Amino acid sequence: MAHFADRLTAAVQARATPLCVGLDPRWDSLPLALRQRFDASPAGRASAYEAFCLRVLDIVAPHAGVIKPQSAFFEACGPDGLKALLAVMRRARQLGLVTILDAKRGDIASTAEAYAEMAFDVYDADAITLNPYLGKDAIEPFLKRARQNERGLFVLVRTSNPGGGQFQNLAAAGKPLYVHVADAVESWSNESRGGCGLGDVGAVVGATHPTELRELRKIMPSAIFLVPGYGAQGASAADTAGAFLPGGRGAVVNSARGITFPFKPDDANWEAAIDAATQQAAHELGQAANPHP
Amino acid sequence: MAHFADRLTAAVQARATPLCVGLDPRWDSLPLALRQRFDASPAGRASAYEAFCLRVLDIVAPHAGVIKPQSAFFEACGPDGLKALLAVMRRARQLGLVTILDAKRGDIASTAEAYAEMAFDVYDADAITLNPYLGKDAIEPFLKRARQNERGLFVLVRTSNPGGGQFQNLAAAGKPLYVHVADAVESWSNESRGGCGLGDVGAVVGATHPTELRELRKIMPSAIFLVPGYGAQGASAADTAGAFLPGGRGAVVNSARGITFPFKPDDANWEAAIDAATQQAAHELGQAANPHP
């Protein structure tokens, strides 16, 4: 396998869009036609999530090169949910998609190693999202494991939620906490860069703060940005523009609900709706990334 | 069920010790006699972890009222590992133990709700550990769910790892980040207190920083402390003294390796070693909590 940043960059360039499809399956949003084949028990929901997500992968794969399953929704179905996640990750690999397991883990020493094993060995993820609160001890075991296998990490820097600033915006030594985290991410990212010039440690930076996005792009020139907040969370494609390096490089923009649930549950044409939403978002974000192609 | 803080306090008082037994199963540390019954595949390890942890629960239950399984080690075995975790949580419930699922989750909105469902519904945990980096949006969905079911939360405040201060010690508005988090924890904890006077939102505060422990005890008079760092991580029982309120109330002290792996893998008397280590730690921590009983 090639360096993580090169693989992700190639996946983005092949489809000329930074769109990353978020897989956040919810029972109540699933197509009725599909829900009727299963029951709402944890095992039933897990089977429904698997069937739905596999179908989504087939529909989106021609238009988006990166996917991001949200671990929580699979975990909420218990052990059967994790079997479904395994099936989803395998199909994504078969389709040549780059996978980011959104798990926001953060723990230290041998516990971090166990989480890295979970992400990279069990689920064969290309990257995992991490929480920086525990400091470098919580990142380095993942880094070591990622570098042995050409994988990547995305560290939470500035999140897209309304209350994200409660601690992230606290100013210490003249700059907010999230800038301290950004400095650390840039330093880790710089340690291992691919041929594309980008590193294997990226940053999660919400599109709901376009000014901070531009500021953070300057602070982390080596880091790939994973940008949530576009679409259902309120940010427009234009709001993501600050995330990109010249040539539309260096960022992927996540859309979950907007891509996977653009229909009412009783809509028989849900697959066509997903296809149309994917193409629309891929085009719109492709333009935002490359305003003057 | 009674209020979480009352249940935890009763479990501690019944055994006159704040000892919390951490379940961090590691394949290489398991008794050889047990390892030989399984293979080192994820499924084999999961079965071995289950067998080992169930045996540990039976041994420690008379001496310690609280257990803390570390989710990562079970997750590293894939879906089968989660089945093992389920069995461990069920046995703990049958034995009347209070369970803290150490998962350090942190996510927002419906994702946080899914994690709360995972912790409280799927695994029936009495409490889960959480990461505060995303702000109150990442705590409140758990709070809501916990309060519907008399469960508890433990929020990371000051962790016991060497690099824990990298971000936690940054000073903003005249006090370190971890004190800002402590203020928030105290406020959440105060919203719902049990008959014992303690709230349902606790704080993770490492025993490796005894001075900070005393300082944080003053800042969070309503919060139950979950104290890692004792034993194998370097802190003594005396180092935990600052965590307690008068009467030895208000804190549990975790020991994982020191309790579950006090033997060499080829030691046939590993169960007796666990029993002795548990009684020793329970006694030592009981003294630290109540220096003048």
* pLDDT tens per residue, range A162-177: 999 999 999 999 999 9
Cα B201 from Cα B142, distance rounded (Å): 10
Give pLDDT tens digits for A109-121: 999 999 999 999 9
> Nearest 5°: phi and psi at B71?
-55, -35
Residue A283, phi-psi category: left (phi > 0), alpha (psi -120 to 50), beta (remainder)? alpha
Does A154 reach chain B within 8 Å, measured CB to CB? no
Does B34 reach chain A within 8 Å, measured CB to CB? no
Give pLDDT tens digits for A220-237: 999 999 999 898 778 999
Predicted local confidence at residue B292, as pLDDT: 66
A170 and B161 in contact by Cβ < 8 A?
no
B111 and A75 in contact by Cβ < 8 A?
no
In chain B, which residues have pLDDT < 50? none
Predicted local confidence at residue A86, as pLDDT: 98
Give pLDDT tens digits for A123-136: 999 999 999 999 99
Please check whether residue B284 is in contact with residue B235, taking contact to mean a CB–CB distance below 8 angstroms: no
Count CB neighbours of B32 within 10 A: 12
Cα B264 to its chain centre, rounded Å, is 25
Residue of B nearest to A73 (CA): B114
Nearest to B133 among A77, A117, A132 (CB): A132
A111 and B24 in contact by Cβ < 8 A?
yes
Predicted local confidence at residue A292, as pLDDT: 65
Cα B194 from Cα B244, distance rounded (Å): 17
Tokens describing residue B164:
């824990």
User: Taking residues A31-59, what's their average pLDDT?
Assistant: 97
Residue of A nearest to B116 (CA): A76
Strand partners of residue B253: B19, B227
Does A29 reach chain B within 8 Å, measured CB to CB? no
What rounded mean pLDDT belongs to chain A?
96
Does B234 reach chain A within 8 Å, measured CB to CB? no
Does B90 reach chain A within 8 Å, measured CB to CB? no
User: Taking residues A99-117, what's their average pLDDT?
Assistant: 97
Active site residues of B: 104
A132 and B79 in contact by Cβ < 8 A?
no
Please check whether residue B194 is in contact with residue B3, taking contact to mean a CB–CB distance below 8 angstroms: yes
> Can you state the percent helix, strand and coil of chain B, rounding each to 5?
50, 20, 30
B79 and A79 in contact by Cβ < 8 A?
yes
- Among A68, A104, A136, A218, the active-site one is A104
Q: Please tell me the distance in Å from A292's CA to the nearest CA on chain B.
A: 35
Angstrom distances, CA of residue B210 to CA of A38, A158, B90, B213: 53, 31, 35, 5
B172 and A168 in contact by Cβ < 8 A?
no
In chain A, % of residues over pLDDT 70? 99
Does A32 reach chain B within 8 Å, measured CB to CB? no
User: Taking residues A26-39, what's their average pLDDT?
Assistant: 97
- List the single best residue of B122, B167, B205 to mutate versus A (max A Cβ within 10 A): B167
Please check whether residue B160 is in contact with residue B208, taking contact to mean a CB–CB distance below 8 angstroms: yes
Predicted local confidence at residue A280, as pLDDT: 98
pLDDT exceeds 80 at position A35: yes
Q: Please tell me the distance in Å from A105's CA to the nearest CA on chain B.
A: 7
Does A114 reach chain B within 8 Å, measured CB to CB? yes
User: Taking residues A189-218, what's their average pLDDT?
Assistant: 96
Q: Chain A partners of B117 at a C-beta cutoff of 8 Å?
A: 76
Tokens describing residue B44:
């084999």
Predicted local confidence at residue A148, as pLDDT: 96
Give pLDDT tens digits for A180-195: 999 999 999 999 999 9
Strand partners of residue A199: A193
A173 and B171 in contact by Cβ < 8 A?
yes
Task: Please report, for chain B, how many H helices and E strands are present, in that order.
Answer: 12, 10
| Rg, chain B, Cα only | 18
Tokens describing residue A152:
């990547």
Q: Chain B partners of A228 at a C-beta cutoff of 8 Å?
A: none
A144 part of the active site: no
Tell me the pTM: 0.98
Tokens describing residue A92:
């994504």
Predicted local confidence at residue B6, as pLDDT: 98
Predicted local confidence at residue B153, as pLDDT: 98
Predicted local confidence at residue A291, as pLDDT: 82
Q: Tell me the DSSP string of B60-126.
A: HTTT-SEEEEBHHHHHTTTHHHHHHHHHHHHHHHHTT-EEEEEEEE---HHHHHHHHIIIIIIS--S
Cα A259 from Cα A232, distance rounded (Å): 9
